[in-house]
Amino acid sequence: MYRLQSLAARSLIAGALDQCSPLTLTSLTGVRHKSQGPSVEKCGQMRFLTAEAKAAAGRLEGKLREKTLTLDTLNPQVKAVEYAVRGPIVIKAGEIERYLEEGGTKPFSEVIKANIGDAHAMGQQPITFLRQVVALCTFPELMDSPSFPEDAKWRARRILQGCGGHSLGSYSASPGVECIRKDIAAYIEQRDEGVPSDWENIYLTTGASDGIMTILRLLVSGKDSSRTGVMIPIPQYPLYSAAISEMDAVQVNYYLDEDNCWALDINELYRAYQAAKLHCQPRVICIINPGNPTGRYIDNVYTPDCQFHSFKKVLYEMGPEYFNSVELASFHSTSKGYTGECGFRGGYMEVINMDPEVKAQMVKLLSVRLCPPLAGQAAMDVIVNPPQPDEHSYKQFRQEKSSVLGALADKAKLTEQILNAVPGIKCNPVQGAMYAFPRIFIPPKAVEEAKALGMQPDMFYCLRLLEETGICVVPGSGFGQKDGTYHFRMTILPSIEKLKVLLGKVRDFHIRFLKEYSALE
């Protein structure tokens, strides 16, 4: 592996020219020093531009080596990874979008992407106060502007004081900016009604996914029957199955009770655990309140008789025997909730009761990735430290937050009502978060046709839905489901007007689909 030096660019090189002397390319950008001339050959070392390199390579007597990295040599765990949320359906949707942009015609004028929980891409407006604080942190000269409120400026100054050089462009400590970690701990204590939180157990992450991957890396070990088993709820968020495959751990499914609004069944949990012990070592259980795409988030709870309870608070209420011994990692992020700030990639994890020596190893692992983006850390700080009732920005913040959550609650109810009125579709109440996971009846003839095409029946259904209506949803098979049942996941994030159009198209398509396969009674 040779170093390529070009304007501080860094690359990993797999394979090299089959020559006895190292080949160093000193310019990859088309920038060239006048003193170099056309090319220089000196002491077995050649210097030339990219175009010249190609020409010279063709004149070399030796042949280029075969590719070092091929599908045959690729890490098999990478090939085993699947991620339905951005899988074949989404790729096909992108192709159709480009076709329409180039003047092609379809039975629809646009692709409606209901496959991913990207709130802002669906038109949700950002929370003003959060953006003000991040803007001030990014461009401190705005501190002199009267357009920004003092409570936003105060938070920005405090965050910048915790940054190297008072700049958001610096690295932070690997666990994150200290004052932000302290704000998160204070927020957790308030959320859990006084349950203590130690800021040194708080670690900022690049979205929640980064923290989840870190914890799984610590847990996965062993071979054969001693391999780590990871218990995950089904349906699950594909991050977990993808990470388990990549790390060569064992996925242990426990099924949520669809007939009981996706509740967690203790007997099913026990069954899955006992069965897994026969072929692996179950060491971790993932619980997502109780699952994604069927779960809730802290603020996004729409059913009046439901409220959020953290697992940490429940442990505390169970007494010291549990609270002081059970190893628990909890995750939160800027991406979901009412802010929907996916692009900032901000998040945190709180890790309690971890062995001190293991914690040192985790900090070492976190240090390898240096630190999470500081803009994301700043955004996370605003979420846990929003305007208070006695501050100038509180009224506007409260109005914006209530508007977002109120609209989501209305769309959750609308989605449930319209889908449940369609023959062959059953949708549980959307009690929180931003997704529906309706069960769809797929006639036997359609199941046979899908299998003949080598695809899952719900993938066949969702592809047909996309090609005929322009609606992009994710097949339930990408999240896991009981054998013989079929679902799709859709987001409720589009505007109320667009959501009505989307649901109407789903209804009409499903009825046509049933008629086509002679299943409508």
Write out the E strands in 152-265: 202-206, 228-234, 250-255
Instruction: Give the pLDDT confidence of 86-139 residue by residue, as tens digits.
Output: 678 888 888 998 999 888 888 888 888 888 888 888 888 999 999 999 999 999
In three-state secondary structure terms, 178 is helix
Rounded to 10 degrees, the C-alpha dihedral 82/427/413/382 comes to: -20
Instruction: Give the pLDDT confidence of 356-369 residue by residue, as tens digits.
Output: 999 999 999 998 88
DSSP state of 298: S
User: Residue 459 is encoded by which pair of tokens?
Assistant: 């993938």
Instruction: Measure the CA–CA gap between 267 and 250, rounded to whole angstroms.
Output: 21
Q: Return the residue matching tokens 């329409």.
A: 100
Measured between alpha carbons, how far apart are the two ends of the chain, in Å?
A: 67
Q: Are 426 and 258 in contact (CB under 8 A)?
A: no
Report the share of the chain in percent with pLDDT over 90.
Answer: 53
| Half-sphere exposure in the Cβ direction for 333 (13 Å, CA) | 20
| Closest among 353, 341, 354, 333 to 218, alpha carbons compared | 354
Instruction: Measure the CA–CA gap between 133 and 142, rounded to whole angstroms.
Output: 10
Rounded to 10 degrees, the C-alpha dihedral 341/343/345/346 comes to: -30
Question: The dihedral of CA 445, 451, 453, 458: what is its sign?
Answer: positive
Tell me the chain's radius of gyration from C-alpha atoms: 27
Instruction: Measure the CA–CA gap between 284 and 262, rounded to whole angstroms.
Output: 21
Query: Can you give the pLDDT of all 521 residues of the chain as single tens digits?
Result: 444 444 444 555 444 444 434 433 333 334 444 444 444 444 444 454 565 656 665 555 556 667 877 878 777 777 666 665 567 888 888 899 899 988 888 888 888 888 888 888 888 899 999 999 999 999 999 999 999 999 999 999 999 999 999 999 999 999 999 999 999 999 999 999 999 999 999 999 998 889 988 998 888 888 888 999 999 999 888 888 888 888 888 999 999 988 888 888 899 999 999 999 999 999 999 988 645 666 667 777 777 777 788 899 999 999 999 999 999 999 999 988 889 898 899 999 999 999 999 999 999 999 888 999 999 999 999 999 999 999 999 999 999 999 999 998 899 899 999 999 999 999 988 887 788 999 999 999 999 999 999 989 999 999 999 999 999 999 998 888 888 999 999 988 888 999 999 999 999 999 999 999 875 44
Is it true that the peptide bond before 444 is cis, omega within 30 degrees of 0? no
Instruction: Measure the CA–CA gap between 411 and 302, rounded to whole angstroms.
Output: 10
Q: Are 347 and 333 in contact (CB under 8 A)?
A: yes
Write out the E strands in 128-287: 202-206, 228-234, 250-255, 281-285
User: Residue 236 is encoded by which pair of tokens?
Assistant: 């699950």
State the greatest distance between any 2 C-alpha atoms of the chain, in Å, as a whole number.
83
Question: How many C-beta neighbours within 10 Å does residue 499 have?
Answer: 23
Instruction: Measure the CA–CA gap between 147 and 135, rounded to whole angstroms.
Output: 12
User: Residue 191 is encoded by which pair of tokens?
Assistant: 């959320």
Residue 377, CA distances (Å) to 127, 250, 487 in order: 16, 33, 36
Is it true that the peptide bond before 140 is cis, omega within 30 degrees of 0? no
Task: Give the H or E element holding residue 349.
Answer: strand 346-352
Polymer length of the chain = 521
| Half-sphere exposure in the Cβ direction for 174 (13 Å, CA) | 14
Residue 32, CA distances (Å) to 29, 35, 36, 57 in order: 8, 9, 7, 19
Q: Return the residue matching tokens 């109320």.
A: 496
Instruction: Measure the CA–CA gap between 397 and 203, rounded to whole angstroms.
Output: 26
Instruction: Give the pLDDT confidence of 426-440 residue by residue, as tens digits.
Output: 998 888 778 899 999
Paired with 252 in beta bridges are 231
In three-state secondary structure terms, 305 is coil
Query: Long-range pairs for 446-450 at CB < 8 Å and ≥24 separation?
Result: 446/513, 446/516, 446/517, 446/519
Instruction: Measure the CA–CA gap between 65 and 438, rounded to whole angstroms.
Output: 52
Annotate 439-477 with DSSP letters as a single string: EE---HHHHHHHHHTTS-HHHHHHHHHHHHH-EE-EEGG
